[in-house]
Structure 1
Amino acid sequence: MGKKQKDKGGDILFESYYRQIFEDRWPALKEALLVDRKPIAYKDGLEAEYYLDEASVIAAKLLDVQSKDSVLDMCAAPGGKTLVLASLLKGTGSLTANDRSSARRSRLRNVIDSHVPEVWKASISVTGHDASKWGLYEQEMYDRILLDAPCSSERHVLCDPAALKQWTPSRPKHLAIQQFAMLAAALEAVKIGGYILYSTCALIPLEDELVIEKLFSKREGRFELVPIEAPFSEKRTYGSIILPDTSGGKGPLYFCLIRRIA
């Protein structure tokens, strides 16, 4: 990064970076990101309602979890998508909810304890592993994996002056490296014939379809993409994204469904 770029505030860098990507769409998209979310109540067999973005429910259901599946939620906290997966399994099979952060894992346990019926809890385990190294320890173990990867979360950045001030273009670059490592690990951990749903709440291709593109370049012949149709979504080169300016405030949420074939 040159000196002139370093001297700019994070807000100026952020604005320039995203305007370059979204061009004329950026003002409307930015305005939609600044509007408070309108979460929906999700229950479907749970003990209590959990409020989350409808886009998150849509994405989690795209994994098409079946009764008795072995399921891994690689980056599970705070737990909304975990509850959707649990409600699909209904106590059958197994659900591993993982998060490396002890603080986030504590919140995850609280969400599970206060929402999941007692009879389902025996099939759910909470772990604290490094998702990027998962494939080193467990290979071909899961029927379905949800990788909702840590990302730029631009909606949060825009609404947090301190985070916006500190933002630099290096942040999404570093995150994309981590995201690919996690996705490559998921490909090792899923069974042949099993499915991975890769998702982020990032806006930009670098953390979304370009991570999938990198998987094609590094793991060619070992997986295929599964076509999906999701409400409120728009197609990208690989996968789809729900953006708040065209979905009534939902998202952002990118998702791509992958099937391991070798």
Structure 2
Amino acid sequence: MAKQKGKQQGGDAFESYYAQIYQSRWNTLKEALLVERKPVAFSDGLRQSYYLDEASIIAAKLLDVQDGDAVLDMCAAPGGKSLVLAASLKKNGTLVANDRSATRRGRLKVVLREHLPDEVHSRITVTGHDASRWSLHEQNRYDRILLDAPCSSERHVLSDPKALAIWSASRPKHLAIQQFAMLASALEAVKVGGCILYSTCSINPLENELVVDKLFEKRDGRFAIEPAAALYGESCRHGSIILPDMAQGRGPLYICLIRRTA
């Protein structure tokens, strides 16, 4: 049955897949996902305001960056969350803003340059590494890591007829494999005692709690889930999720704060 589902694609397959997950809530959630976002201005310590989903600001602040921290944003483009992190660096912190895509990285550089004061911008490094292989060249390096992983982005799929027409259940399965590889790599790159904030804008548990489940399966004893009360968040088995039908249009955004313990 699962194999047959994976071969189906398009709007009907998408509808059936998410209705099965969300049951009676699905129609309400789908309507909220189709409503145009209302970005809010973030301006703390910036040259000019940057507009983004308030859920993204909430998530980045949960990482609780401290003065002097070495911070990594593993999938940073377009740069909104990087700006929130940069605003918390204070006088001595540093930030590596990474994105594998050259096109997205170009946009990221523009956003950082246009919005950050020179003194802060001088402590930002932009890189283009494969996040899933990060631990091959750096380990035990960072105090804080934000992994806002590439995901199904169902809000985008619903609003884009072309994306909806080619959607299939194989996509979230493939993405979950990539997401776990990135999260496992982040666990090696963060210092013992440091924190990773794992997030996606997916509403699919396969890309959210189940990725963390796999980390428990493969890296048990090396980390702990930290309690992190996200404003507007609904509790999940691991972390929380902000969903637009219950958060006045904010999100969707899944958030899980992970502390490396060994």
> Under TM normalisation by the shorter chain, which class is it?
over 0.9
CA contact (8 A) 1:209 1:237 kept: yes
Counting matched residue pairs gives 260
Q: Supply the distance in 1 between the matched residues of 2:234 and 2:140 (Cα, whole angstroms).
A: 32
State the partner residue of 1:110: 110
Q: Supply the distance in 1 between the matched residues of 2:99 and 2:204 (Cα, whole angstroms).
A: 24
State the partner residue of 1:159: 159
CA contact (8 A) 2:55 2:251 kept: yes
Residue 258 of structure 2 aligns with an amino acid whose one-letter code is I
State the partner residue of 2:181: 181
State the partner residue of 1:71: 71
Residue 86 of structure 1 aligns with an amino acid whose one-letter code is A
State the partner residue of 1:244: 244
1:173-227: CA deviation from partner (whole Å, max 9, x where unpaired):
0000000000000000000000000000000110000000100000010000101
CA contact (8 A) 2:68 2:90 kept: no
Evaluate the alpha carbon distance shift between residue 5 and residue 76 of structure 1 in structure 2; reply closer, same or farther with a 3 A threshold: closer
Q: Supply the distance in 2 between the matched residues of 1:173 and 1:222 (Cα, whole angstroms).
A: 25
1:22 has 2:22 as partner = yes
State the partner residue of 2:48: 48
Deviation at 1:28, TM superposition (A): 0.2
Structure 2 alignment gaps of length 5 or more: none
1:148 has 2:148 as partner = yes
1:222 has 2:222 as partner = yes
Deviation at 1:90, TM superposition (A): 3.4
Deviation at 1:9, TM superposition (A): 4.8
Q: Supply the distance in 1 between the matched residues of 2:150 and 2:116 (Cα, whole angstroms).
A: 24
Q: Supply the distance in 2 between the matched residues of 1:89 and 1:129 (Cα, whole angstroms).
A: 22
CA contact (8 A) 2:6 2:169 kept: no
Q: Supply the distance in 2 between the matched residues of 1:24 and 1:108 (Cα, whole angstroms).
A: 39
State the partner residue of 1:196: 196
CA contact (8 A) 2:134 2:186 kept: yes
Q: Supply the distance in 2 between the matched residues of 1:232 and 1:5 (Cα, whole angstroms).
A: 33
Partner of 1:46, secondary structure, is coil
State the partner residue of 1:207: 207
CA contact (8 A) 2:6 2:170 kept: no
1:131-150: CA deviation from partner (whole Å, max 9, x where unpaired):
00001110000000000000
Residue 110 of structure 1 aligns with an amino acid whose one-letter code is V
State the partner residue of 1:88: 88
Which ranges of 4 or more aligned residues in structure 1 deviate by more than 3 Å?
Answer: none
TM-score scaled to structure 2, two decimals? 0.97
Deviation at 1:92, TM superposition (A): 2.3
Q: Supply the distance in 1 between the matched residues of 2:213 and 2:167 (Cα, whole angstroms).
A: 25
Residue 55 of structure 2 aligns with an amino acid whose one-letter code is A
Q: Supply the distance in 1 between the matched residues of 2:93 and 2:118 (Cα, whole angstroms).
A: 15
Partner of 2:237, secondary structure, is coil
Partner of 2:88, secondary structure, is helix
State the partner residue of 2:136: 136
Deviation at 1:93, TM superposition (A): 1.6
Evaluate the alpha carbon distance shift between residue 226 and residue 14 of structure 1 in structure 2; reply closer, same or farther with a 3 A threshold: same
1:65-119: CA deviation from partner (whole Å, max 9, x where unpaired):
0011000000000000000000111352210000000000000000001000011
CA contact (8 A) 1:142 1:191 kept: yes
Q: Supply the distance in 2 between the matched residues of 1:41 and 1:158 (Cα, whole angstroms).
A: 25
Deviation at 1:121, TM superposition (A): 1.3
Evaluate the alpha carbon distance shift between residue 9 and residue 219 of structure 1 in structure 2; reply closer, same or farther with a 3 A threshold: closer
Residue 27 of structure 1 aligns with an amino acid whose one-letter code is N
Counting aligned pairs with the same residue, the percent is 66
CA contact (8 A) 2:147 2:183 kept: yes
Structure 1 alignment gaps of length 5 or more: none
Deviation at 1:5, TM superposition (A): 7.2
State the partner residue of 2:101: 101
Q: Supply the distance in 1 between the matched residues of 2:223 and 2:185 (Cα, whole angstroms).
A: 13
> Structure 1 stretch 84-93 or stretch 241-250: which is displaced more?
84-93
